[in-house]
Chain A
Amino acid sequence: MDTVVKNVMRCIFMGLMLLIISAGGHANESQASIIEVFSIRPGTCVVNPQADCDSNVEFYWQLSRKDILCIYQGEEKEHLYCSNESRQGQVALSVKLAVTTWFTAIATKAPEDKITKQLSVLRVGQDVRMLRRHVWSIF
């Protein structure tokens, strides 16, 4: 009887261990992103009331493994830029934006794995005002 109980307990223990390991494995899999870093600079572009943002935007990325990374602008299906196969890279692209726009980075081997970053277009007089003084003063 003791042996049977011991075997059952062993099976339950092993089962639990397998469950924990497999759940942990799934958790790691779902959290692991091939795109570790994707950043754009500048994050904001301040423009005059009737003007567009005509800016040179710097993109930087870092991947967990070698892949081709493509950058898309807004809802456009055509990519703005695609890199060579590598683990990291950076590029400066000239863009002309009328409104705040999202840029999406997609790794070609894992297209469901994407990261988006926003470049805010702020208009003077509509979104922001320019201060008349740089530093506080009473005089």
Chain B
Amino acid sequence: MKMYARRLLLCLLGAYSLMQSAAASQPNSDDMVPVGSWNISFSLGYGQLESPLVDKNDVSLYVLPAIQYYGERFYLDNLTLGYSLVERIDWSIDLIGRPNQDGLYFPGNGNPIVRALVSDIPSTHEPGEIPELAPLQIEPGEKNLSYMAGVRSHLRSMVDMDFYFTHDISGVHQGNEAEFVLSKSFVFTTLRGEVEVGLNYKSHKLTHYYYGIDTQNWMYGDIHYNPKAAWNPLIQLNLSYPVNPKQDVVAAIKYQWLDGAIHNSPLVIKDSLWSFYLGWRWTL
């Protein structure tokens, strides 16, 4: 998986350097906002964040508030807090803080101990044995949400490049998360869209906290699963169709492949995740 991830990263970097040469110098007015401006909107629609976990509690999305503020240095973009160290027309370096998404899939907060319960009985494995593609499935217990902080760099060109590296500052797992995304925006009559292709990295400490197992079970005895770091490729499409200046129809769909380190976990039943949302958005 690591080799695959590295090859993908090299391809993405190569494609980006080719397209960088044709960059435009003046930005589109839709890609900037006046300093000190607030943008508050809410969307009504339906969507889902697919859960990779055995108990399959997909997160349903109906009403989505969105808040955006850009000051001279500080910015708030939904759940991402940022402080720009350097900002130019075509690149920027920010300090950022954002919640980690893995914690959203798990029930509850505050109890860091995995309450592992058997939900499926494997017939071909000895007790305690975890095969490479484990059919053993264990219901996930409670996990804490974690808050990550780090550095983000954004390059604007014909194809944008976004990179962040963050570390857990909430003391939940002490792990790291990074993401590298190439995005291309387009306009078709009045429809605006953006295609994203990227690679997400989760360190061993992060994957171990959320997807690792180190517990005893009455049926299997000791169960241990110690995942390595995970490289998860992703592809995403965002669309916006303006109905009038204050309203638009919005859609977002994301597909993410899960590294073997995650999908081989007995807590996990999926090897990829779909997320989508379709709604009507009002801007205040």
Contact = CB atoms under 8 A, between A and B. Distances in A.
B33 A126 contact: no
Interface of B: 26-27, 29-35, 41, 43, 47, 61, 64, 66, 70-73, 75, 77-78, 82, 84, 87-89, 92, 154, 156, 160, 162, 183, 185, 192-194, 236, 238-240, 248, 250, 252, 254, 275, 277, 281
Contact of A128 (B33, B162, B277): B33
Given A46-B89, A129-B35, A135 B192 contact: yes
Given A137-B252, A139-B236, A125 B32 contact: no
Majority DSSP secondary structure for residues of A touching B: loop
A136 B33 contact: no
A136 to B, nearest CB: 5
Interface residues of A, number: 23
Given A45-B26, A137-B236, A137-B252, A130 B35 contact: no
B185 A135 contact: yes
Contacts of A125: 35, 72-73, 84, 87
Contacts of A124: 32, 87-89
Given A125-B35, A125-B84, A139-B252, A130 B238 contact: no
B253 to A, nearest CB: 9
A134 B160 contact: yes
Contact of A130 (B156, B183, B248): B156
28 contacts: A124-B88, A125-B35, A125-B73, A126-B72, A127-B35, A128-B32, A128-B33, A128-B35, A129-B75, A130-B31, A130-B92, A130-B156, A131-B33, A131-B70, A132-B75, A132-B82, A133-B77, A134-B31, A134-B160, A135-B194, A135-B239, A136-B248, A136-B281, A137-B194, A137-B236, A138-B43, A138-B64, A139-B252
B81 to A, nearest CB: 12
B89 A48 contact: yes
B240 A136 contact: yes
Contacts of A47: 89
Contacts of A111: none
A44 interface: yes
Given A136-B66, A139-B275, A130 B30 contact: no
A129 B32 contact: yes
The 9 A-B residue pairs with the shortest CB-CB distance in the complex, in nearest-first order: A134-B185, A129-B70, A137-B238, A135-B194, A135-B238, A128-B32, A137-B252, A139-B254, A134-B194
Nearest to A128: B32
A74 interface: no
A126 B156 CA distance: 19
Nearest to B239: A135
Of the listed residues B32, B240, B277, the one surrounded by the most CB atoms of chain A closer than 10 A to its CB is B32
